Amino acid sequence: MKPVITLTTDFGNKDYFTGSVKGVILQINPDIRIVDISHDIPPYSISDGAFVISSAYRFFPKGSIHLVVVDPGVGSERKPLLAVSRSGFFLAPDNGILTAIYDEDGPCQIYELTEKKFFLPSVGPTFHGRDIFAPVAAWLSTEMESSSFGRIITNPVRLPVQKPLIEKNKITGQVMYIDRYGNLITNIRASDLPEVNFKKSSVIIGSHTLVGGKAFYQEAREGESSFTLNSSGHIEIFQNRGHAASFLGASLHDPVQFLK
C-alpha cells in the first residue's frame, strides 16, 4: 500500500501555498498518496487546527504521516517538530497544535527537526510548510528512521486544556469549535455523561435554554435549535437547516451548561 501523507493547514486554496507543498512532496517521493484533511482552518487559529487533526487522524491507516501547519510563529525561534505516536507521524510547529495527540495517542517520541540536509536547499523565513515540513514528510515516507531528522525533546509546547466542571446536577463547559454549518462543538464529552437521560436534559448557552437532546439533526423541527451527541463524542449545539452560532449569537469559548 502506498504511504499516506495528510495535510491540515490554514493555507486556503486561493494561493499557491497548498500546491507548492504537494509539489515538494511529489518531487521527493512520487509514489505517495496525499490526502487533504482541511486547508480552511481560520488563519492563525492553532486551537481550530488542533481540534481538526485530533478528530481526523484516527481514521487513517496506521503509520500515516500527518503534516499540520497553522504557524503564526513561522520564522521565529519556535521549533519544527516530528512527533511519533501509536498511530503515526505528525509534523508541526511547536506551538501546541499537537496537544491532543500527545494526550490521546501517546506516549509520543518527539524530535526537533535539526537535520537541514532534509530541508529544501534554501529555507525562507515565511514558508516552513513548503521548505521544512513538506520535504521531511516526503523523506519520512521513504521509511527513513525518525531519529534521522533531529534530536529528541521532552518539553513541547502544550495548549491549555479546558476541562468541563462536573457537579452533581450540571456540567459547565465551553464552545471549543464552530464548524462550517454553524454547529457549536463543546468540550463536554460522552464520558462526562454517565447514566444521563439525554432526552430530559437541557443546555444553556447565553440567554438560550434548549430542552431535550436529539439523537440526530432531523429529529429537531426545521429552524429549531437543539443539541446532540455528535460523531466525535462531544455535545454539539445545532440548528436544523440553520446556523446555530449566528442564531444564538454564540462564539468560541462561550460558556455552556449541561443540566442533567
Residue 116 neighbours by CB under 8 Å, 6+ apart: 123
Domain 165-259 has CATH 2.40.33.20: no
* Residues 21, 250: Cα–Cα separation, whole Å: 35
Domain ranges of the chain: 4-153, 165-259
* Residues 121, 110: Cα–Cα separation, whole Å: 24
Q: Could you tell me the maximum CA-CA distance found in the chain, to the nearest angstrom?
A: 61
What is the residue type of 203? Answer: V
The tally of CA atoms less than 13 A away on the side-chain side of residue 199 is 2
* Residues 195, 94: Cα–Cα separation, whole Å: 39
Per residue of the chain (260 residues), what is the pLDDT tens digit? Answer: 789 999 999 999 999 999 999 999 999 999 999 999 999 999 999 999 999 999 999 999 999 999 999 999 998 999 999 999 999 999 999 999 999 999 999 899 999 999 999 999 999 999 999 999 999 999 999 999 999 999 999 999 999 988 999 998 899 999 999 999 999 999 999 889 877 788 889 999 999 999 999 999 999 999 999 999 999 899 999 999 999 999 999 999 999 999 98
Torsion of CA 173, 91, 106, 31, to 10 degrees: 120
Report the CATH fold assignment for 4-153: Rossmann fold (3.40.50)
Whether omega for the bond prior to residue 107 falls within 30 degrees of 0, making it cis, is yes
Distance spanning both ends of the chain, measured CA to CA: 47
Same-fold call for 4-153 versus 165-259: no
* Residues 56, 260: Cα–Cα separation, whole Å: 30
2 φ, ψ (degrees, to nearest 5): -65, 145
